[in-house]
Structure 1
């Protein structure tokens, strides 16, 4: 009888606590769980609304991401394009008979040994990198072995082609792509991408994408996160051969947004050719009618003089928008004597305050102001665990939606899912951070229910959002290009 009374009493209390969960969901969860556990009835039921941080963040994004009032209709993209051969870096290098030695970076790769040293150097850091391979014959042999390797995959490659391909996923957009388009690449492109006949060539340019997984080991090296090492012997893109075709195509195509990329490919060229082409880039951009924004997508570089020239030789003032990641941002600051330039590399997750300082400096030193006629008013920064959009006030709208959309596509594309799968992603952004390291700034505490944080600094507005990082990424190549394209798709530029 006593046993029956005890069970009945426990059952009644369990029912009562369950009712409290349902009728008073706003009560502190810790109090409810404590009451339940005191009854020793097993795991507490999940109260309504107590979803995981990842689920709450994804739902909040969906509510925030709205279309801009004025959408792009025609987007022109140029000028680097190629075929990406994606393969396991460790397996390919093993098949080439290489073994891991001491990791060491090389600005230019001259041999298989240089390739092995540079690959393990960046694999050990979990950092992305891109290098030029100078020996044509050796590269051709490696490329052929990679292309025929079991499991090798062929994709659209090159920043311009990848951005164009991402834009083409929107059926309402007309997309023009100019670049060295060979037969394999032309076959891979979306039907919605228009390629001028002058862009077609008989042979493809191949880029080899050596991927590695988080935790993957080779000898003494272990990757802290998934990433990739890219290398090529790409002369067409390196000389920006399609720049003139690109510019001449704009008059007939009549775009309302222009996206330019490929300047980093000039690292394998002589200084004289670099200076000449940069001047021609500036002249070409200047010929684009006023009112059509130009976005410049940067990529991994090692030549500080070339980066400094891009910053100072009127390229930055000629474009309205920039897209770049943490490696490119710090290298830019180092090359142009910006904030935190003494930092040799990021120590883990890039400090939000430092990133904010550099973005602010770029817009203040090279962006539009009352005393400067620069067109630069927007920067989209992306790193693995968070994104920041910085804009000069009064020139861009819908940036809250744009930064959220860019972060959302990072999670879906890396996991190869249509929507965010909250079981396959994790929230790794800093839980709190300072908005500046050079000024007092503000301390921000992350709230997954309100994932886009906004702050202001002397006429510049910052929008920050975390990224839901894919735990088992299917493919890392092209994430930055997809992020920039998605952010631009949801952006609205105010007419001048």
Structure 2
């Protein structure tokens, strides 16, 4: 009897294991079919449109060398990191560890100024010794310039850089601004999803950036750029890199003067030249207020991630900054914030001399892309732009020109509400036609088109830094 019972038990166990393996493989096959359908749907829409022949794009300001290193290699976890705290200006190793822990545990991107030059130089020297370390072209403007050039645009870049750094730009990108003896360095501390650092586990792949810039805060290429703009006559002017002014010890009134010159340069552009302002990680409330009052009103288009959207939203509504936002916000929440920001900025701009009408918002998150454009505005191909932005997110982070579904996943919900308002319609994710677009009339505002595209999130991140710049540029390239 015992022997028979053993044989029956063994058979039952074997069947259970077989069934488990069968359903796991079946589930994997279904998942692959689903991911492949989404991929094909995105690619099909992306291919429907191309960049307008010889579209001219001018981009400012600044450049740097990015030094990439695994955060866990450079920063050794110790007791200071057990007490996360935010510091706007980092001057000691303890402040660095506390601030890194503050953002790492949330998987939130951040960029901070290190006022202690000796500390920063030591960190750079230590990073250069790490096996994970490598240098690359950095700065919002050069990264965006490279992407626009790759997409087929004629590009003018405002930046001061050494000859060596300029050689890393794609041939054909024209640089104005002059030379420097030494390029600013940005130290990019990257980490993977589910990476452990001491007692913390990162919820998503991201990066923490620190710098001690001496050139970029002054936007020193501005004047030379202005002279070339008159001859270049761009279809699009992109203003970026202004976060380098964050926390820098300017002389009284000096930063305000530089911002005023940037504003004047934007005002001087023909109405045929559209202007895009690319947001970034800001920490100083005063600077973000100055941008909201003195730079943003003169842009037609704004680009940002979920953290930067929350910062702008809180600045305009409440006069403060949100240091850490939800790293994977629901679509409905982001869309409502976009509508609110659009209404508020549109109303404010009506009372500002020489301001422009805001006609485009692009928010890129880990899970999806959301683009809002005013109907009958010059912005075209919103659906294709959302598709291209989504695919670029995966291609850049994975470091591949092709999307590998074995290295991707969907984290966007199966369906989403268009607003948190009760009774708002739900939109299902159709894997065969994954981009959802619809028209609506904003309260006391114009008719707009909104497009939402899912992102095939890269599972094994190659590089997160520069992701937003590549995504924004890719989307814009199909809309100018």
Asked if these proteins are the same fold (TM beyond 0.5), I'd say yes
Aligned residue in 2 for 1:477: 465
Q: Aligned partners of 1:223, 1:363: CA distance in 2, in Å? A: 32
| Equivalent in 334, 344, 358 of residue 365 of structure 1 | 344
| Equivalent in 223, 228, 235 of residue 256 of structure 1 | 235
| Equivalent in 434, 439, 457 of residue 441 of structure 2 | 457
Please state if 1:468 is matched with 2:456. Answer: yes
3-state SS in 1 of match to 2:203: coil
Q: Which has the larger radius of gyration?
A: 1
Q: Aligned partners of 2:125, 2:190: CA distance in 1, in Å? A: 17
Contact 2:369 2:455 in 1 (8 A): yes
Aligned residue in 1 for 2:15: none
Change (3 A) 1:368 1:141: same
The runs of 5 or more residues in structure 1 that have no matched partner are 1-36
Contact 1:72 1:489 in 2 (8 A): no
- Residues 390-424 of structure 1: CA deviation (Å, up to 9, x unaligned): 11111121010001100001111111221211111
| Equivalent in 169, 186, 207 of residue 189 of structure 1 | 169
Q: Aligned partners of 2:67, 2:83: CA distance in 1, in Å? A: 26
Aligned residue in 2 for 1:216: 195
How far does residue 175 in structure 1 lie from its aligned partner after superposition?
1.4
Aligned residue in 2 for 1:158: 139
Q: Aligned partners of 1:45, 1:344: CA distance in 2, in Å? A: 43
How far does residue 99 in structure 1 lie from its aligned partner after superposition?
6.8
Change (3 A) 1:343 1:265: closer
| Equivalent in 305, 314, 327 of residue 325 of structure 1 | 305
Contact 1:68 1:397 in 2 (8 A): no
How far does residue 346 in structure 1 lie from its aligned partner after superposition?
3.5
- Residues 294-323 of structure 1: CA deviation (Å, up to 9, x unaligned): 11111001122221221122x222111111
Please state if 1:133 is matched with 2:149. Answer: no
RMSD of aligned Cα (Å): 2.9
| Equivalent in 319, 329, 334 of residue 355 of structure 1 | 334
How far does residue 115 in structure 1 lie from its aligned partner after superposition?
1.1
Contact 2:80 2:98 in 1 (8 A): no
Q: Aligned partners of 1:186, 1:351: CA distance in 2, in Å? A: 40
Aligned residue in 1 for 2:386: 403
Please state if 1:291 is matched with 2:275. Answer: no
| Equivalent in 348, 351, 361 of residue 379 of structure 1 | 361
Change (3 A) 1:357 1:236: same
Contact 2:65 2:137 in 1 (8 A): yes
Aligned residue in 2 for 1:175: 155
Aligned pairs (5 A) from 1:425-444? 425-438=408-421, 440-444=423-427
- Residues 296-355 of structure 1: CA deviation (Å, up to 9, x unaligned): 111001122221221122x2221111110011100111111179x998754452122221
3-state SS in 1 of match to 2:341: helix
The farther-off stretch of 182-191 and 73-82 is 182-191
Contact 2:51 2:153 in 1 (8 A): no
3-state SS in 2 of match to 1:463: strand
Q: Aligned partners of 1:93, 1:366: CA distance in 2, in Å? A: 41
* Equivalences, count: 448
Contact 1:214 1:226 in 2 (8 A): yes
Q: Aligned partners of 2:347, 2:195: CA distance in 1, in Å? A: 45
The runs of 5 or more residues in structure 2 that have no matched partner are 1-17
Contact 1:378 1:391 in 2 (8 A): yes
The farther-off stretch of 273-282 and 341-350 is 341-350
Please state if 1:237 is matched with 2:220. Answer: no
Change (3 A) 1:369 1:306: closer
- Residues 175-234 of structure 1: CA deviation (Å, up to 9, x unaligned): 1111121244213211121112x4321111100000111111121111111110001001
| Equivalent in 409, 412, 415 of residue 395 of structure 2 | 412
3-state SS in 2 of match to 1:390: strand
Aligned residue in 1 for 2:207: 228
How far does residue 252 in structure 1 lie from its aligned partner after superposition?
2.6
Change (3 A) 1:87 1:364: same
Change (3 A) 1:207 1:51: closer
3-state SS in 1 of match to 2:460: coil
3-state SS in 2 of match to 1:188: coil
Contact 1:126 1:227 in 2 (8 A): yes
TM-score by length of 1: 0.84
Contact 1:368 1:376 in 2 (8 A): no
Contact 1:238 1:268 in 2 (8 A): no
How far does residue 383 in structure 1 lie from its aligned partner after superposition?
0.7
- Residues 232-286 of structure 1: CA deviation (Å, up to 9, x unaligned): 0012111222222222221233322211101211112347333222222111111
3-state SS in 2 of match to 1:100: helix
